[in-house]
Structure 1
Amino acid sequence: MAYDPTAPTESERSLAYYMVGVGAAANAVLLSAQLVPLPSWIAHGCILAVAASLLVAILSSRNDDYFRHISFVASRFAMGVIAIWFCLEAIIHAGNGAELVGILAAGGQSGGNPTAGPKDWFASETLAVTVAMAFHIRFFFKRYRR
């Protein structure tokens, strides 16, 4: 096998896996922050760690083929989660639209609370944290599955 001066060293490969692991831990903290508020400095630090881990996994071209393959599989899985998320959001909002038509047909009388709904769970921050967590889960599932 010929010498490749651009091939990643063992320490560079270990650092890439370590960065993705730190990002997964920070992502778990952010996911729990959807239910329990965190101080802003912790949340912002976790957001930076998740962003760094995703950038290392997706944009790094100095990693070996195995790392890039795992990143590709995890990225595909994360895109599938986005597709399912958008389908659920469309179905739920179509149901809310049907409720609005029913309210208008009933002469403007609503039987429930019109402000209650799934809008908080479909916020962009929740979507981002969930998709990043899906990426990290699939990344480590692919890496450690035997």
Structure 2
Amino acid sequence: MPYDPMAPTPSERSAAYYIVGIGAAANLVLLSTQWVTLSSLVSGGCILAVATSLLVAVLSSRNDDYFRHVSCIASRFAMGIIAIWFCLAAIIHIGNGAQLIGEWAGGGLSGDNVTAGPNDWFASETLAITVAMAFHIRFFFERYRR
């Protein structure tokens, strides 16, 4: 086998998995912030750790083929979660539009329902945390599946 100077060393390979693992743990802490308030310093550090782990997993070209394969599968899974989120958001928006048309047809009378869906579930921060968690779950599922 020819010598490849750009091939990752075993320590570089283990560091990549370690960084993604730290990002997954930080993502769990961020997920808990949906119910428990943490200081902005802790939240900021966790957000930075999650961002770093996602960047290492997705943009790293100095890792071996197996790491890139697992990252690719996890990325596709996370994109699927975003697609499902868009479908649910579209249903809610269409429902709000239908309510608006009903109000116009009823002469401006509206019921007590101000919104047609749970807007807090569709906040951008909640979406980002959920998609990052889906990425990490699928990444480690795919890694330890065999």
**TM-score class normalised by the smaller sequence:** over 0.9
SS of the residue corresponding to residue 20 of structure 2 reads helix
RMSD (Å), alpha carbons: 1.4
**By how many angstroms is 1:96 displaced?**
1.5
Structure 2 residue aligned with 1:114: 114
Letter in 2 for 1:61: S
Structure-to-structure mapping, 1:65-144, within 5 angstroms: 65-114=65-114, 117-144=117-144
Contact 2:20/2:56, CA 8 A, preserved across alignment: yes
Shift of residue 45 of structure 1?
A: 0.4
* Partner SS, residue 121 of structure 1: helix
Q: Give, in whole Å, the separation in 2 of the partners of 1:14 and 1:27.
A: 20
Contact 2:27 2:50 in 1 (8 A): yes
Q: Which amino acid aligns with 2:82?
A: I
Aligned-residue sequence identity (percent) comes to 77
Question: d(CA) in 1 for partners of 2:64 and 2:108?
Answer: 62
Separation of aligned partners in 2, 1:18 and 1:103: 55
| Count of aligned pairs | 146
In the TM superposition, residue 116 of structure 1 has moved relative to its aligned partner by 7.2
**Equivalent residue of 1:120, what SS?**
helix
Q: CA deviation at 1:108?
A: 2.4
Per mean C-alpha deviation after superposition, the further-off stretch among 135-144 and 31-40 is 31-40
Q: Which residue of 2 aligns with 1:47?
A: 47
Q: Give the C-alpha shift of residue 5 in structure 1.
A: 1.5
- Note the C-alpha offset of 1:121: 1.3
Q: Is the 8 A contact 2:77 2:135 kept in 1?
A: yes
Q: Match for 1:145: what amino acid? A: R
